[in-house]
Amino acid sequence: MIVTVDRHSGFCWGVVRTIEIAEQEMRNSGNIYSLGPVIHNPQEIARLKDLGMDVVTHDDFSSLSGSKVLIRAHGEPALTYELAQKHGVTLVDATCPVVTKVQERIRKYYDRGFQIVIFGKKEHAEVVGLNGQVNNEAIVIRNVDEIASIDLSRKTVLFSQTTMDKATFHEIAGLLRDRIQDFEVATFEESAVDFHAKDTICGQVSGRDAKLREFAAGNDVMVFVAGRNSSNGKVLYDICKDANPRSYFIENEGEIRSEWFTGANRVGVSGATSTPQWLMEQIKTHIEEFSHIEAGAS
């Protein structure tokens, strides 16, 4: 049985940047706090904790005077920066540059009087940060059924959480374009050289769709590794499952079942943009052990 790790999977560059910033801070000062889980992957969080990173919430700021707190890739609303200043907390801003660009764009549209609509998950950290840029006045929707909450008489702009699926986004955009006279879809500014997208979905995330479909279809069985709270992981797993019905979602190697691989010659391992490479390699080795056991038994 041949087991292959998807070479297009793993950390996106925004997550890589955040982890590098966190590790550099820990090398310099020994420890740092993260405002919420730095990424949606429990194994990577555990690794970083061993290096000196503890997870805190906004409520902990009052007892963290003089400490450094990392702003993770998802970004934060303006109120977080005000709270840190009030309590003498130094923020280390590791917001993904893509998210920062979306935050800048959403403020500009808000200042121009647009009704802000965000396609995303209301409680997701990135969406909380985006909504916080506009006094929490944005309308957050997850599907076409929630369009009813939008005032169709106002000039409106549609944004997206950067890790949502393009198909649903463009379906929503099409419906709103037909119903609202003054309607725009937010894009990255032309000055952002790497962001020539026609929406605010991260190109590195959406660009994985076709590659993941091809990889999944080329294997008998797929094992998709991601944290259960990973928004991006859920989107990519659905793509994987659509391309290969014998796809399984796991968070760690303890969830793997030997019966998944019955009759399989080729097994693929892939993961979300928050799934570390070392974890996928670990899963690969674990799956190969099943093959060795079967070979020995025969």
Which three-class secondary structure state does DSSP give residue 242?
helix
Nearest CA to 250 out of 42, 33, 32 is that of 42
Query: How far is Cα 138 from Cα 127, in angstroms, rounded to an integer?
Result: 10
Alpha-carbon distances, residue 42 vs 47, 190, 232, 290 (angstroms): 9, 36, 15, 24
Catalytic residue among 126, 255, 259, 281: 126
Q: How many CB atoms lie within 10 A of CB 206?
A: 20
Residue whose token pair is 């393009």: 166
Query: How far is Cα 229 from Cα 39, in angstroms, rounded to an integer?
Result: 9
Residue 214 is among the residues annotated as catalytic for this protein: no
Q: What's the one-letter identity of residue 211?
A: K
Query: How far is Cα 11 from Cα 226, in angstroms, rounded to an integer?
Result: 11
Q: What's the one-letter identity of residue 272?
A: A
Q: How many CB atoms lie within 10 A of CB 57?
A: 9
> CB of 270 within 8 A of CB of 240?
yes
Going by C-beta distance under 8 Å and a sequence separation of 6 or more, which residues neighbour residue 275? 9, 10, 11, 41, 225, 226, 227, 230, 233
Angle between helices 97-111 and 13-29 (to 10 degrees): 110
Query: How far is Cα 4 from Cα 175, in angstroms, rounded to an integer?
Result: 41
Task: Give the chain's largest Cα–Cα span.
Answer: 71
Name the residues annotated as catalytic.
126
